[in-house]
């Protein structure tokens, strides 16, 4: 009961969230403010005309400006009063009140109203811009399925995805979204995975294939058997990740909020000193008060404070649309400072799909090609490898299947796994070994030197070599291009790590244009190498490790940035990495770096621009060059420009 209750709250939450995002372009509150600003602006023009044409005397002159002032700013005055009671003195509302009331006191009526109207217009714009970028991220939420058609007791019924149990059969029509991860049990079709991976090419699926929820079934109806419940499905995990993405903040983001905390009080104190000291010296209080008010008008740090998180948020959103999940603004920031990229070879630069290209049997230490010894080699190797899920082991089993048209019937018992080396077991009281050269060395088995490309798996039984398999893995089509692009982007050091043999590593590294590689590594060695590299690096540069998320969780965690690739359907990888590339194209990494660089440039532009303008106006205000009109125009203008600039991050950069 408790559990199902939690589930429906969870999915209800998503739906509520979506609805909210859709309607947030201009909500009720914003509309009300919009009309108030409009009315106030019209009244201001009318009052200004009366003021200019009739030139009424005080207090009539003040009274004609009060209606627009109050219509535009009554809530600002109210908020300020409430905040003073709570002890928040340096509040934007309060500062605006002081600035405008100050202007009214020294008789600058039109300015006072103008400042208030413009300030409110700026606020409205900010709130619309934020709402808009929030809603544009919501297109990511579109992958959330609305309902699922489940087949129970031969009848199909439509239920909420959260009510589907593990192992139930779902029917998915063409054009429908696949609600939950599962295996295809009937029919074949093509699916659009773009919502998850950013990959526009449809994928073909048939009986036995795994399929992730959130994909759209394109061509024909299929039935799938669910493998998880909704809470644990890829879609739910991704949604959760996106929603929580912004909880780890970037250094720049923290810096700006800390800066804002001191900026406002400093400017206000500056304003106070500017009003009092020269005022006493020269006796021209009105003039210096006027200059001090300019300080107050530009004392609000809004433009900065809003544009930085908005930029990072936009960047994360843009990346998400391309199938790149960034788990926090800090990672997006770090990615642009990456100058060392360490790749795991298998499954990252290469397909990770192995096949046996050669099988050589041995007898009495010499190669021999009679069928009997080859059968012996295959059957004993398969005996052990049937216990393993390692891609290499699977490729041997596949070769076995192909050769004998059957699956290995027996499994060895008591199999010991030697991490990064192979497997061993006792069969008929004698030791059976299947693994690489290292494992053979450990058990002092004499092995031939093999120079052909590929990984070599030896099989030995009763201290004698039975033969070896050569297993090849081809590099991905885009690997070389990705390495090239990384280099041109200024990544200085590209390293490939692999548990594979020196010869294989060397050839692949050469073909891909990688200068540095480390071969024959055990999983623990990879951590040591990454740690050593981290120590050698300057502090302001970062190291990214790219792996497929299988077996390399410790390295992912140890690096400055752990990037998991081809993570669709692998929860462990989504969990362990800081950045997740949903499909397995290495070019996605370059795209992620491009988005990160663009985002960071925009953040820097905004900081420099907004601070620069503020400093200039503080100086101009102090020297009496700027007036209130210009100051508020500059302040709101900076905010608008900074926000528009920040929203550029929503659009992913072109290649």
Partner 1 sequence: MKKIFKLENLDCANCAAKMERAIQKLEGVNSATISFMTQKLTLDADEARFDEIVAQADKECSKVDRDCHIVK
DSSP state of 432: E
Considering only 122, 214, 301, 562, the residue that binds partner 1 (CB under 8 A) is: 301
- The enclosing H or E element of 289 equals helix 285-297
CB of 8 to partner 1, least distance (A): 16
Q: Is 588 in the site for partner 1 (CB under 8 A)?
A: no
Q: Is 62 in the site for partner 1 (CB under 8 A)?
A: no
Taking the CA atoms of residue 634, residue 639, residue 642 and residue 646 in that order, the dihedral angle to the nearest 10 degrees is -170
CB of 316 to partner 1, least distance (A): 9
Residue 109, SS3 per DSSP: helix
Residue 533, SS3 per DSSP: helix
Catalytic option among 181, 229, 344, 635: 344
Q: Is 534 in the site for partner 1 (CB under 8 A)?
A: no
CA distance 646 to 599: 8
Question: Of 134 and 438, which CB lies nearer to partner 1 in the complex structure?
Answer: 134
Instruction: Single out the segment in contact with partner 1 by CB under 8 A; choices: 212-220, 247-255, 336-344, 378-386.
Output: 247-255
Strand partners, 431: 426
Chain positions 306 to 325 lying near partner 1, rule: CB under 8 A, are 306, 309-310, 312-313
Residue with tokens 């410790």: 554
Instruction: Single out the segment in contact with partner 1 by CB under 8 A; choices: 241-249, 393-401, 490-498, 612-620.
Output: 241-249
Q: Is 122 in the site for partner 1 (CB under 8 A)?
A: no
CB of 88 to partner 1, least distance (A): 7
- The enclosing H or E element of 187 equals none
CB of 36 to partner 1, least distance (A): 16
CA distance 84 to 78: 10
- Residue 200, judged by CB atoms within 10 A of its CB (0-12, 13-18, 19+), counts as exposed
Considering only 99, 117, 246, 440, the residue that binds partner 1 (CB under 8 A) is: 246
- Is 592 within 8 Å of 579 (Cβ atoms)? yes
Q: Is 247 in the site for partner 1 (CB under 8 A)?
A: yes
Chain positions 252 to 281 lying near partner 1, rule: CB under 8 A, are 257, 260-261
- Is 298 within 8 Å of 617 (Cβ atoms)? yes
| Contact code string over 77-116 relative to partner 1, x by CB under 8 A | --x--xx--x-x---x------------------------
Instruction: Single out the segment in contact with partner 1 by CB under 8 A; choices: 4-12, 223-231, 296-304, 433-441.
Output: 296-304
Residue 41, SS3 per DSSP: helix
User: Residue 179 has which token pair?
Assistant: 């609600």
91 is catalytic: no
Total number of residues that touch partner 1 (CB under 8 A): 30
Strand partners, 472: 355
Q: Is 429 in the site for partner 1 (CB under 8 A)?
A: no
Q: Is 370 in the site for partner 1 (CB under 8 A)?
A: no
Q: Is 418 in the site for partner 1 (CB under 8 A)?
A: no
DSSP state of 414: S
Q: Is 408 in the site for partner 1 (CB under 8 A)?
A: no
User: Residue 297 has which token pair?
Assistant: 């008008």
- Is 238 within 8 Å of 196 (Cβ atoms)? yes
3-state SS record for 107-151: CCHHHHHHHHHHHHHHHHHHHHHHHHHHHHHHHHHHHCCCCEEEE
- Interface with partner 1 (CB under 8 A): 79, 82-83, 86, 88, 92, 126-127, 130, 133-134, 243-249, 257, 260-261, 300-302, 305-306, 309-310, 312-313
Residues annotated catalytic, as ranges: 344
């Amino acid at each position: 009961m408790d559990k199902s209750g939690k589930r429906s709250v969870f999915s209800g939450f998503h739906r509520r969230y979506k609805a909210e995002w859709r309607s947030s372009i201009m909500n009720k509150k914003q509309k009300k403010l919009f009309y108030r600003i409009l009315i106030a602006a019209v009244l201001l023009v009318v009052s200004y005309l009366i003021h200019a044409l009739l030139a009424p005397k005080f207090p009539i002159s003040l009274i004609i400006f009060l209606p627009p002032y109050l219509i535009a700013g009554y809530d600002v005055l109210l908020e300020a009063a409430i905040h003073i009671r709570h002890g928040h003195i340096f509040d934007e509302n309060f500062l605006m009140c002081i600035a405008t009331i100050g202007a009214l006191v020294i008789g600058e009526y039109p300015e006072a109203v103008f400042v208030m109207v413009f300030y409110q217009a700026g606020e409205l714009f900010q709130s619309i811009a934020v709402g808009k970028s929030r809603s544009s991220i919501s297109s990511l939420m579109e992958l959330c399925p609305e309902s699922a058609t489940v087949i129970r007791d031969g009848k199909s019924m439509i239920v909420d995805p959260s009510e589907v149990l593990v192992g139930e059969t779902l029917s998915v029509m063409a054009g429908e979204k696949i609600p939950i991860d599962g295996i295809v049990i009937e029919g074949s079709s093509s699916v659009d995975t773009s919502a998850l991976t950013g990959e526009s090419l449809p994928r073909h699926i048939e009986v036995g294939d795994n399929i992730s929820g959130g994909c759209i079934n394109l061509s024909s109806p299929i039935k799938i058997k669910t493998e998880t419940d909704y809470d644990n499905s890829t879609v739910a995990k991704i949604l959760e990740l996106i929603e929580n993405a912004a909880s780890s903040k970037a250094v720049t983001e923290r810096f700006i909020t800390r800066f804002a905390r001191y900026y406002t009080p400093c400017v206000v104190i500056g304003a106070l000193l500017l009003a009092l000291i020269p005022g006493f010296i020269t006796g021209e209080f009105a003039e210096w008060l006027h200059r001090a008010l300019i300080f107050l008008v530009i004392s609000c740090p809004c433009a900065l404070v809003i544009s930085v998180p908005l930029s990072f948020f936009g960047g994360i959103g843009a990346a998400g649309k391309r199938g790149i999940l960034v788990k926090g603004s800090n990672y997006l920031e770090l990615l642009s400072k990456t100058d060392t990229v360490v790749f795991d070879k298998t499954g990252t630069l290469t397909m990770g799909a192995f096949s046996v290209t050669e099988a050589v049997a041995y007898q009495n230490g010499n190669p021999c090609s009679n069928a009997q010894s080859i059968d012996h080699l295959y059957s004993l190797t398969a005996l052990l490898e049937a216990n393993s899920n390692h891609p290499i082991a699977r490729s041997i089993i596949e070769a076995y299947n192909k050769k004998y048209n059957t699956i290995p019937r027996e499994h060895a018992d008591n199999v010991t796994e030697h991490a990064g080396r192979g497997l061993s077991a006792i069969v008929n009281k004698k030791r059976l070994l299947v693994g690489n050269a290292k494992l053979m060395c450990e058990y002092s088995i004499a092995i031939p030197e093999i120079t052909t490309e590929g990984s070599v798996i030896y099989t030995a039984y009763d201290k004698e070599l039975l033969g070896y398999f050569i297993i090849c893995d081809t590099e991905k089509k885009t690997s070389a291009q990705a390495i090239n692009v990384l280099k041109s982007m200024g990544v200085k050091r590209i390293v490939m790590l692999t548990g594979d043999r020196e010869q294989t590593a060397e050839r692949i590294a050469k073909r891909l244009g990688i200068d540095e590689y480390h071969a024959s590594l055990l999983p623990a060695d990879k951590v040591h190498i990454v740690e050593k590299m981290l120590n050698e690096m300057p502090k302001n540069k970062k190291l990214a490790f790219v792996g497929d998320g299988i077996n390399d969780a410790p390295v992912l965690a140890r690096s400055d940035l752990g990037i998991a690739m081809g993570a669709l359907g692998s929860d462990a990888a989504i969990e362990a990495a800081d950045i997740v590339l949903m499909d397995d194209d290495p070019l996605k990494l370059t795209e992620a770096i491009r988005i990160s660089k663009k985002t960071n440039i925009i953040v820097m532009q905004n900081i420099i621009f907004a601070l620069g303008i503020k400093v200039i106006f503080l100086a101009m205000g102090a020297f009496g060059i700027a007036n209130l009109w210009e100051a508020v125009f500059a302040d709101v203008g900076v905010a608008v420009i900074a926000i528009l600039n920040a929203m550029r991050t929503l659009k992913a950069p072109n290649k």
